[in-house]
A and B are shown apart, each in its own frame.
Chain A
């Protein structure tokens, strides 16, 4: 049943050269992720969380080992193939939101759809659906500068989910948000995970995020130290 996994990594190694020495960011990481997981990569800074997300997201290639996403080996993909994989199947949520400042909220969310073969009418519907999911349909005409941090991150989520990708990778999505906004965002993502069956993988060391996870993978010095399946507890620490 090997092919049923959305993502598989085998002995994944990623090293960065720093002058004459090199840093091992990932050290023989072997993990499998199924569809509709709500998983977090946790660990201290420099433990390899973001690097693993980048490799899975085909933004970076491994030094050795293998990462297979939807049956495609990331290390074998050309630039164009990697771009196509990201375009069709992967959504990204960044710590700093990375919204395009000159576009409106609507245009930001619509942006990834422009690269896909959707008619303008379909694009509009998908964009407004995504904004509805995150509760920002009424801010469609606003510019990112007019939004709060929490609203900006919700726009980033809408942008990531608008094309209904199989996988969303979120790198420290709550790092710049207060507690209330963090829970709002997390509840939105949890709902999308359940409604759409989208797999979410977080890189985080935020306890608020960890409270929502159904699987927690702890990385230490680039290696998997612990892989736990949890019962999601929600914002108050109570089981949900």
Chain B
């Protein structure tokens, strides 16, 4: 027990030098957890936004439906089977019909995907209530990105053309009743949302749908011939790949921060040990073995890490907790980042992140303390006493 006692006595006795190191190292702790928390928060938010606005608890796809293949869309619709209809009637699912179409905003031609959705649905976080208008109006809902690219605003009327089930082209004037602000690009860009019944009627697809979105938390997965159930793992796989790709950047930042922390403690230890060569020689002269010297100086370095973790916790926990509540307001144009984040990014600090970072920094601190100490401890006591390094 003598070594821990001496190590603690040494670092506390070093006073300001110790606390400067500890404070710098604690900054590294908090910075690492903060940045990683932002990335975890971003990943979490992307998934949550996509689930809330588009994916629900999974989707039944008509067997020909492939959102990435517009050419197959013509055949990607069918009568909703009874098993799924029962779920829709029970409010545990909602049907969406997707039809290819063309929009003519201000004389331009814009290919779009027309999606019919029940205006009364509450399963997805879409403002479909705006689609509940009288029969005299033909309401359409578009996203803010779509509005930007077409120049359309609420109250504008625009020609929408589509091809019905028999291959006949038809067109109507639709009224933009709402421009929804959504962070999920997959329900916004190039899409026009209209009431499901109107689309079914106009396209001659009575009782049909392309996909049926199941409510979150619904465990029921009834068999539906001709329809394929896609769970969230499948539906989120693209997003997860994107997140993984972006995580590479986060990992580099993480490594740089760890490296900085490591350099800080390594420099401190090297300088301190070079300054304390004579002290090491004195310890050896008084009967310290090399092993004891190495253990003492390594533990001193490791204790810097422990103290830094404590100091980081003292100001980091309140700071990061407050920040997690406030969120980080993202600059406009952050949409171009590639996926749904929202106006504010709320960091998430998982126990794994905090524990992992703490252990990693402590481990590295110990290693970088050990390396220079081992070199000095290899000296003969007489060389250490002279303050000479061979």
Chain A residues with CB under 8 Å of chain B are: 54, 57, 59-60, 79-80, 83-84, 86-88, 92, 94, 96, 98, 100, 102-103, 107, 111-112, 114-115, 159
Known: A79-B290, A94-B385. A100 touches B282 (CB 8 A): yes
The size bracket of the interface on B is: 20 to 34
Q: Which residues of B contact A107 (CB under 8 A)?
A: 9
Q: Are A112 and B286 in contact (CB under 8 A)?
A: yes
The 21 listed contacts between A and B (C-beta, < 8 Å) are: A59-B382, A60-B380, A60-B381, A80-B289, A83-B287, A83-B289, A84-B287, A86-B287, A87-B287, A88-B287, A92-B285, A94-B385, A96-B278, A100-B282, A102-B9, A103-B13, A111-B286, A114-B6, A115-B286, A115-B287, A115-B288
Known: A98-B278, A103-B9. A79 touches B289 (CB 8 A): yes
Q: Which residues of B contact A115 (CB under 8 A)?
A: 2, 286-288
Chain B 258-281 interface 0/1 with A at a Cβ cutoff of 8 Å (1 = within): 000000000000000000001101
Chain B 339-383 interface 0/1 with A at a Cβ cutoff of 8 Å (1 = within): 000000000000000000000000000000000000000001110
B90 within 8 A of A: no
Which B residues from 266 to 324 make CB contacts under 8 A with A? Answer: 278-279, 281-282, 284-290
**Residue from B286, B380, B385 with most neighbouring chain A CB atoms (10 Å):** B286
B383 to chain A, nearest CB (A): 9
A19 to chain B, nearest CB (A): 14
Q: How far is the CA of A60 from the CA of B278 in the complex (A)?
A: 16
Q: Which residues of B contact A112 (CB under 8 A)?
A: 286-287
Known: A98-B278, A102-B9, A102-B14. A59 touches B286 (CB 8 A): no
A114 to chain B, nearest CB (A): 5
Q: Which residues of B contact A94 (CB under 8 A)?
A: 282, 385
B216 to chain A, nearest CB (A): 60
B65 to chain A, nearest CB (A): 73
Q: Which residues of A contact B9 (CB under 8 A)?
A: 102-103, 107
Q: Are A86 and B14 in contact (CB under 8 A)?
A: no
Q: How far is the CA of A103 from the CA of B278 in the complex (A)?
A: 15
B10 within 8 A of A: yes
Q: How far is the CA of A84 from the CA of B15 in the complex (A)?
A: 32
CB-based nearest B residue for A99: B282
Known: A103-B9, A114-B2, A114-B6. A59 touches B284 (CB 8 A): yes
Q: Are A83 and B288 in contact (CB under 8 A)?
A: yes
Q: Which residues of A contact B282 (CB under 8 A)?
A: 92, 94, 98, 100
Q: Are B13 and A57 in contact (CB under 8 A)?
A: no
Q: How far is the CA of A60 from the CA of B381 in the complex (A)?
A: 7
The majority secondary structure among interface residues of chain B is helix
Q: Which residues of B contact A92 (CB under 8 A)?
A: 282, 285-286
CB-based nearest A residue for B381: A59
Q: How far is the CA of A218 from the CA of B50 in the complex (A)?
A: 91
* Smallest CB-CB A-B distances: 10 pairs: A87-B287, A102-B13, A98-B282, A59-B381, A83-B289, A92-B285, A112-B286, A86-B287, A60-B382, A59-B382
Q: Are B13 and A59 in contact (CB under 8 A)?
A: no
A106 to chain B, nearest CB (A): 12
Known: A103-B9, A107-B9, A114-B6. A86 touches B286 (CB 8 A): yes
Q: Are B287 and A57 in contact (CB under 8 A)?
A: no
Known: A59-B382, A59-B385, A94-B385. A87 touches B13 (CB 8 A): no
Q: Are B380 and A102 in contact (CB under 8 A)?
A: no
CB-based nearest B residue for A89: B287
Chain B 183-207 interface 0/1 with A at a Cβ cutoff of 8 Å (1 = within): 0000000000000000000000000
CB-based nearest A residue for B288: A83
4 more A-B residue pairs beyond the given contacts A103-B9, A103-B13, with a C-beta to C-beta distance below 8 A = A83-B288, A83-B289, A86-B285, A115-B287
Q: Which residues of A contact B284 (CB under 8 A)?
A: 59, 83, 86
Q: Which residues of A contact B288 (CB under 8 A)?
A: 83, 115
B13 to chain A, nearest CB (A): 3
Q: Which residues of B contact A86 (CB under 8 A)?
A: 284-287
Q: How far is the CA of A159 from the CA of B285 in the complex (A)?
A: 12
CB-based nearest A residue for B6: A114
Q: How far is the CA of A96 from the CA of B6 in the complex (A)?
A: 23
Chain B 137-171 interface 0/1 with A at a Cβ cutoff of 8 Å (1 = within): 00000000000000000000000000000000000
A162 to chain B, nearest CB (A): 11
A80 to chain B, nearest CB (A): 5
Q: Are B385 and A102 in contact (CB under 8 A)?
A: no
Q: Which residues of A contact B281 (CB under 8 A)?
A: 98
CB-based nearest A residue for B386: A50
Q: Which residues of A contact B279 (CB under 8 A)?
A: 98, 100
CB-based nearest B residue for A100: B279
Q: Are B286 and A87 in contact (CB under 8 A)?
A: yes
Q: Which residues of B contact A54 (CB under 8 A)?
A: 382
Q: How far is the CA of A80 from the CA of B287 in the complex (A)?
A: 9
Chain B 1-16 interface 0/1 with A at a Cβ cutoff of 8 Å (1 = within): 0100010011001110
Q: How far is the CA of A114 from the CA of B7 in the complex (A)?
A: 13
A132 to chain B, nearest CB (A): 21
CB-based nearest A residue for B18: A102
Q: How far is the CA of A210 from the CA of B336 in the complex (A)?
A: 86
Q: Which residues of B contact A111 (CB under 8 A)?
A: 286
Q: Which residues of B contact A103 (CB under 8 A)?
A: 9, 13
Q: How far is the CA of A94 from the CA of B15 in the complex (A)?
A: 26
Chain B 34-55 interface 0/1 with A at a Cβ cutoff of 8 Å (1 = within): 0000000000000000000000
Q: Are B10 and A59 in contact (CB under 8 A)?
A: no
Q: Which residues of B contact A100 (CB under 8 A)?
A: 279, 282
B225 to chain A, nearest CB (A): 80
Q: How far is the CA of A87 from the CA of B282 in the complex (A)?
A: 12
A203 to chain B, nearest CB (A): 13
